[in-house]
């Protein structure tokens, strides 16, 4: 087969069975989110490049290596979204929603990053996520994490995920910690990787995310974030942990969990799963009180998370409900085939799933009905039409009975 007839590397076709599982995940998530006051939002799949480049930072790997950025015919630089939060905040500002705080949004859809495809990580991947804007108190952190926990539990992941939790403190704490990191890493600058040397100049917190083995050895003895906390930052984090404990949501304090972007403050968290191998994070989020202001709005608190649907598909431990078993129409003869068109339409309007088997002898048609897991077959020919009846055969028990045409829908519903 020609290369051009294959999906592009890092993408794949979503066939009906997988699509049903994906819809189950999104329906489950949105159903729970509605109880927390979240409404669904859908933003464009591409934005002006500045929306992502300004917020993610020029030194981030996402912007420097992974975005799909192109120039349109009008000369505008556009970028396929690599994540959702910046687009949601842009929509919040574009639509003048700062007068309607708090705002709680949920979303689901594709995003794009040019990465080496791995298990659970594609170049076109799909996320479901939640964003809460306008609540500065620790209650929002607790509820946001509780919402994520409820969704993961509903997908059967209660016993296979671990909540890793940390705090970046307030702006004063973060500035003090940044200074401590610069002092520490400067002493070891000669042994840092090239990427970390660049980060040391522009954003030293990102060094803590380095996967380089030499960097990891240096990071092991780096200053702890909590040593730079103000009393207010300590109190905020204590309220978050107390709230999670009150809800019996287990967590592990991971002091190396950070977000390198300047607009993050206070709570950051990840749910990791032992079923995913190296790509163990199934859901991640944090508080981003500085993002709205960075994008040109008034200072507005924000917190949210996103989960990869591909990773949830691998990890989830609940059975996706099977589709409703259809009923097969088996018309015998030309007149019956003509009549079956209206009968099929009427039964579908009554809420019954119908498949029509109109070729081959009766035996072959019933075999086709079995193949699609039909629960019953409606068999009729000239004699049945003349009497205004059909034969309804239960394909599970083999029982067959005569039913008046006017009673078919009610009989099948029962």
Same domain, 151 and 273: yes
Q: How many CB atoms are closer than 10 A to CB 330?
A: 24
Answer yes or no: do 9 and 147 share one domain: yes
Same domain assignment for residues 296 and 331: no
| Co-location of 137 and 248 in the same domain | yes
What is the span of the domain harbouring residue 387? Answer: 327-413
- State the DSSP H helix or E strand holding residue 127, giving kind and residue range, or none if neither: strand 124-133
Task: Find all residues with CB under 8 Å of 366, minimum gap 6, and list them.
Answer: 328, 330, 357, 377, 393, 395
DSSP lists the bridge partners of residue 397 as none
Alpha carbon distance 189, 172 (integer Å): 25
Q: Are residues 165 and 187 in the same domain?
A: no
- Within-domain flag for 282: yes
- Our count of domains for the chain comes to 3
In a domain, 186, yes or no: yes
pLDDT at 61: 57
Q: Are residues 391 and 272 in the same domain?
A: no
- CB-hemisphere CA count at 13 Å for 396? 6
Both 199 and 303 in one domain: the answer is no
CATH of the domain at 259: 3.30.930.10
Helix (H) or strand (E) holding 380: strand 376-380
**Would you report the helix, strand and coil content of the chain in percent, each value rounded to 5?**
45, 20, 35
- Distance in angstroms (rounded) separating the CA atoms of residues 17 and 151: 21
Question: What dihedral do alpha carbons 126, 285, 160, 250 form, nearest 10°?
Answer: -160
Do both 334 and 269 map to the same domain?
Answer: no
Q: What CATH number is given to the structural domain containing 347?
A: 3.40.50.800
Instruction: Please choose, from the candidates 237, 252, 193, the residue with its C-alpha nearest in 3D space to the C-alpha of residue 219.
Output: 193
Q: Which of residues 225, 257, 292 is at a domain's end?
A: 225
Alpha-carbon distances, residue 177 vs 34, 236, 319 (angstroms)? 38, 17, 46
CB 142 within 8 A of CB 243: yes
- Region label for 168, one of left (φ > 0), alpha (ψ between -120 and 50) or beta (otherwise): alpha
> What is the number of alpha carbons within 13 Å of residue 67 lying toward its C-beta?
29
Per-residue pLDDT 10s for the chain (414 aa) are 666 789 999 999 999 999 999 999 999 999 999 999 999 999 999 999 999 988 776 555 566 578 999 999 999 999 999 999 999 999 999 999 999 999 999 999 999 999 888 887 899 999 999 999 999 999 999 999 999 999 999 999 999 999 999 999 998 998 898 899 889 999 998 899 988 988 888 788 888 878 888 888 998 889 988 889 999 999 999 999 999 999 999 999 998 888 867 788 999 999 999 877 766 899 999 999 999 999 999 999 999 999 999 999 999 988 999 888 999 999 998 899 899 999 999 999 999 999 987 677 888 888 898 888 999 999 999 999 999 999 999 999 999 999 999 999 998 987
In angstroms, rounded to a whole number, what is the distance separating the alpha carbons of residues 112 and 68?
7
| pLDDT the model gives residue 56 | 75
Strands 124-133 and 302-308: antiparallel
322 within some domain: no
For residue 389, being part of any structural domain is answered with yes
- Sequence-separated (6 or more) residues with CB below 8 Å from residue 150: 32
Q: Do residues 305 and 354 make contact, with C-beta atoms less than 8 angstroms apart? A: no
pTM: 0.89
Tell me what pLDDT residue 250 has. 97
Looking at the fold, whether 290 and 400 belong to one and the same domain comes out as no
Boundary (domain end) residue, out of 193, 225, 257: 225
Whether 189 and 105 map to the same domain: the answer is no
Give domain status of residue 244, yes or no.
yes
The answer to whether residue 241 sits within a structural domain is yes
Residue 320 lies in a domain: no
Measuring CA to CA, which residue among 374, 383, 359, 380 is closest to residue 412?
A: 374
> Tell me, what's the pLDDT at 286?
97
CB 304 within 8 A of CB 288: yes
Domain boundary among 282, 315, 348: 315
Backbone angles phi, psi at 57, to 5 degrees: 90, 140
Residue 407 lies in a domain: yes
Instruction: Say if residues 192 and 215 touch (Cβ distance below 8 Å).
Output: yes
117 and 63 co-located in one domain: yes
Do residues 199 and 78 both lie within one domain?
no
């Amino acid at each position: 087969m020609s290369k051009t007839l294959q999906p592009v590397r890092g993408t794949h076709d979503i066939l009906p069975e997988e699509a049903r599982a994906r819809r189950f995940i999104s329906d489950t998530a949105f159903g729970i989110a509605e109880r927390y006051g979240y409404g669904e939002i859908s933003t464009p799949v591409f934005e002006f490049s500045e929306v992502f480049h300004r917020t993610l930072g020029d030194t981030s790997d996402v912007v420097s290596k992974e975005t799909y950025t192109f120039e349109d015919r009008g000369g505008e630089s556009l970028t396929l979204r690599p994540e959702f939060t910046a687009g949601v905040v842009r929509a919040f500002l574009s639509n003048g929603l700062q007068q309607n705080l708090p705002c709680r949004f949920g979303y689901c859809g594709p995003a794009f990053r040019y990465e080496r495809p791995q298990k659970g990580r594609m170049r076109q991947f799909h996320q479901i996520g939640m964003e809460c804007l306008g609540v500065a108190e620790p209650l929002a952190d607790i509820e946001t994490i509780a919402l994520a926990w409820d969704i993961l539990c509903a997908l059967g992941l209660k016993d296979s995920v671990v909540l890793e939790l940390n705090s970046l403190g307030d702006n004063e704490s973060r500035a003090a910690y940044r200074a401590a990191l610069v002092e520490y890493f400067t002493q070891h600058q000669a042994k840092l990787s090239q990427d970390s040397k660049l980060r040391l100049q522009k954003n030293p917190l990102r060094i803590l995310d380095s996967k380089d083995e030499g960097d990891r050895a240096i990071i092991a003895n780096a200053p702890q974030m909590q040593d730079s906390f103000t009393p207010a930052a300590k109190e905020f984090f204590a309220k978050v942990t107390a709230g999670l404990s009150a809800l019996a949501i287990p967590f592990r304090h991971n002091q190396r969990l950070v977000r390198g972007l300047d607009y993050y403050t206070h709570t950051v968290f990840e749910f990791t799963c032992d079923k995913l191998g190296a790509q163990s994070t199934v859901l991640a989020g944090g508080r981003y009180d500085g993002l709205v202001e960075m994008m040109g709005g008034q200072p507005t608190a924000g917190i949210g998370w996103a989960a990869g649907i591909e990773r949830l598909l691998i990890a989830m431990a609940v059975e996706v409900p099977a589709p409703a078993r259809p009923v097969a129409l088996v018309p015998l003869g030309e007149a019956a085939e003509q009549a079956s068109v209206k009968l099929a339409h009427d039964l579908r309007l009554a809420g019954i799933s119908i498949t029509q088997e109109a070729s081959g002898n009766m035996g072959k048609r019933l075999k086709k009905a079995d193949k699609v897991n039909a629960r019953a077959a409606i068999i009729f020919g000239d004699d049945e039409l003349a009497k205004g009846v059909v034969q309804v055969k239960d394909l599970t028990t083999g029982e067959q009975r005569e039913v008046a045409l006017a009673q078919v829908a009610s009989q099948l519903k029962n």
